[in-house]
């Protein structure tokens, strides 16, 4: 449960929550940028080295890259969530403590990431209406964005969860994400968070459209994966701040001590 006085250290305004997230990110920006660069290098190496003689081979190569990205980002998400949670509790952890904590919680965040990614993949075609625009598709897309914004809460909640079982922590965090996100007190803020959550997807869509007009080698990689990898840390920082705020406003458990 929340520690005494913890809610007072969590900003109540939207601007304050965003500032909290970016303050936490900027405090360790060199570490997060180094991790992002390392992940990009590994993923790029796979994209350039692995053979792609046909469409099936290319699909396999991209799947391998997606798995590497998911595993690496799960560690980064754990780092960022624990850092923001510690700052809210006025217990700013050392980098060593963060790394150890993220390593211990990497499994539960990975399971939560797989659950979230599975739902995102199933609903991806509904998120960006294709031309010619269908009025129903235009109506459904914002609902999908709200769904994705809610799902995004799952990952920091899993990282901060006190459950001992990783799989149980991932599942309960998914349930809590929906409970907190769709609470009447949080719905307006959820809409704003959802816009931030889908912003990388919109950027990737624009880059992919430009690449289709001006083709270049390995376009599928460069128009998608680097964006996800680079924004993982700052976006998680903001999502964690909002997740803690949503838990407080919904009257549920916030940052929990293990």
DSSP letter for each residue of the chain = -PPTTTGGGS--SHHHHHHHHHHHHHHTHHHHHHHHHHHHHHHHHHHHHS--SSHHHHHHHHHHHHHHHHHHHHHHHHHHHHHHHHHHTT----HHHHHHHHHHHHHHHHHHHHHHHHHHHHHHHHHSPPSSPPHHHHHHHHHHHHHHHHHHTHHHHHHH---S-HHHHHHHHHHHHHHHHTSTTTHHHHHHHHHHHHHHHHHHHHHHHHHHHS--TTHHHHTTHHHHHHHHHHHHHHHHHHHHHHHHHTTS--S---
Minimum mean pLDDT among 48-57, 93-102, 174-183, 233-242: which range?
48-57
Predicted local distance difference test score (pLDDT) of residue 257: 39
Confidence of residue 222 (pLDDT cuts 50, 70, 90): very high
Name which residue leads in pLDDT, 45 or 124: 45
Predicted local distance difference test score (pLDDT) of residue 255: 44
The pTM for the full model equals 0.88
The pLDDT of residue 148 is above 90: yes
Confidence of residue 107 (pLDDT cuts 50, 70, 90): very high
Rounded average pLDDT over 116-121 = 93
Confidence of residue 158 (pLDDT cuts 50, 70, 90): very high
């Amino acid at each position: 449960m929340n520690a005494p006085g913890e809610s007072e250290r969590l900003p109540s305004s939207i601007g304050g929550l965003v500032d909290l997230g970016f303050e936490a990110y900027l405090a360790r920006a060199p570490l997060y940028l180094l991790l992002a660069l390392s992940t990009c290098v590994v993923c790029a190496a796979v994209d350039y080295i692995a053979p792609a003689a046909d469409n099936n081979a290319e699909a396999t190569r991209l799947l391998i890259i997606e798995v590497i990205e998911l595993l690496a980002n799960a560690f980064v998400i754990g780092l960022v969530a624990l850092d923001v949670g510690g700052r809210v509790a006025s217990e700013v952890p050392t980098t060593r403590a963060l790394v150890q904590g993220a390593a211990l919680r990497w499994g539960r965040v990975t399971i939560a990431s797989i659950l979230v990614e599975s739902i995102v993949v199933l609903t991806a075609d509904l998120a960006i209406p294709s031309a010619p625009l269908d009025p129903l598709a235009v109506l459904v897309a914002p609902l999908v964005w709200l769904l994705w914004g809610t799902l995004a809460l799952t990952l920091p909640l899993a990282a901060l969860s006190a459950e001992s079982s990783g799989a149980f922590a991932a599942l309960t965090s998914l349930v809590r994400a929906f409970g907190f996100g769709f609470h009447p007190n949080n719905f307006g803020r959820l809409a704003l968070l959802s816009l931030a959550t889908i912003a990388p997807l919109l950027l990737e869509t624009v880059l992919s459209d430009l690449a289709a007009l001006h083709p270049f080698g390995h376009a599928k990689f460069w128009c998608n994966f680097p964006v996800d990898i680079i924004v993982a840390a700052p976006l998680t920082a903001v999502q964690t701040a909002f997740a803690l705020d949503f838990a407080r406003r919904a009257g549920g458990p916030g940052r929990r001590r293990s």
